[in-house]
Amino acid sequence: MASRRFFPPLRTLITTRSVTYMPRPGDGTPRPVTLIPGDGIGPLVTDAVEQVMEAMHAPVYFEKYEVHGDMKRVPQQVLDSIRKNKVCLKGGLKTPVGGGVNSLNVQLRKELDLYASLVNCFNLPGLPTRHENVDIVVVRENTEGEYSGLEHEVVPGVVESLKVITKFCSERIAKYAFEYAYLNNRKKVTAVHKANIMKLADGLFLESCREVATKYPSIKYNEIIVDNCCMQLVSKPEQFDVMVTPNLYGNLVANTAAGIAGGTGVMPGGNVGAEHAVFEQGASAGNVGKEKIMGQKKANPVALLLSSAMMLRHLQFPSFADRLESAVKRVISEGKYRTKDLGGDSTTQEVVDAVIANLD
């Protein structure tokens, strides 16, 4: 009887390759990136990014500037550097509560017209959370709303704060959200609002979203009131895909979604406009960590490492971004090196060393 020949399954014959990417001549030239270490844990986590970039031989180099949240304004040379380089990576800048000092985070967004904030909140393999299958992108309008800074005291004991919503800004953030969904094979965009109470302001935001939605028939569009949205997020977050919001609601929704998916220490994000982009920790950009964490040097660098991967993709260095993301996810999945917020006791440097060791 003739022996049977063994044929391996087809999938074992197919070698896995990265997506084909044909750069233009000169695309490998190292790119300058403005770096703002910031306050608190900022210098620790930005140093982590610098180490990993050097280990990967990534085609970027940093122009570092000292900026702190207690300054009255972002120094002009920093703004000039970002305008020249088009891209910035920053640690947290502490925002004083009360008093007359404006948030430098908000100043940066307004000066550079970084009108879209994007935070990606997703489950990381190996990191236990209350909910599975969470993969939410929060697209937040970044330049107006309650953050317009228009406040004054009418008479002693009475303060008026103005919320500004314009059709121009509402339309462009809606277009960005739908364009993001279209380019990233996302299926649904949800507009978050409070138009049942703020009928004119949030009504204009919704009207703009509805107009833009008609131009993207392949993407499902729905709306949700912000208070119901928060309840739905903590009970059934997997129902959400891309969420588009006015300024204040986006801050609340992004932080809630980040907490659900694993915490602010692992969620990447960035702020982008027509000309410039600033990448930072996705949620709680004004949270610069506790002094105890700084003293022990146990800040979690994962959020900024993943944000820097977003930055590399933005700069059209996709293979470097993939390598960095894969290494970070491998370290999280293995579970040996985790900072306290993820249930471990590792230092920032131990996590960085583990990421570098896992680079392909």
Check if the beta carbon of residue 46 is closer than 8 Å to that of residue 39. Answer: no
Q: 281 forms bridges with which residues in the sheet?
A: 268
- Produce one character per residue of 184-195: b if its CB has 16 or more CB atoms within 10 Å, e if not: eebeebbbbbbb
- 3-state DSSP assignment of residue 283: coil
pLDDT surpassing 80 at residue 195: yes
pLDDT at 98: 63
Model pTM? 0.89
Quote the percentage of the chain above a pLDDT of 70.
92
Q: Give tens-digit pLDDT for 206-221.
A: 999 999 999 999 999 9
Comparing 15-29, 254-268, 306-320, which segment has the lowest mean pLDDT? 15-29
pLDDT one-digit tens code per residue, 59-85: 999 999 999 988 889 999 999 999 999
The answer to whether the beta carbons of residues 287 and 38 sit under 8 Å apart is no
- What mean pLDDT do residues 40-63 have? 95
Residues 35 and 90 sit within 8 Å (Cβ to Cβ):
yes
Q: Where are the beta strands (DSSP E) in 97-200?
A: 116-122, 135-141, 151-155, 158-161, 188-193
Going by C-alpha positions, the residue among 144, 126, 162, 192 that lies closest to residue 331 is 126
Q: How far apart are CA 315 and CA 60, in angstroms?
A: 9
Is 120 a residue whose pLDDT tops 80?
Answer: yes
Q: How confident is the model at residue 26 (pLDDT cuts 50, 70, 90)?
A: confident
pLDDT at 287: 65
Residue 248 confidence (pLDDT): 93
Give the pLDDT confidence score for residue 95 in this predicted structure: 80
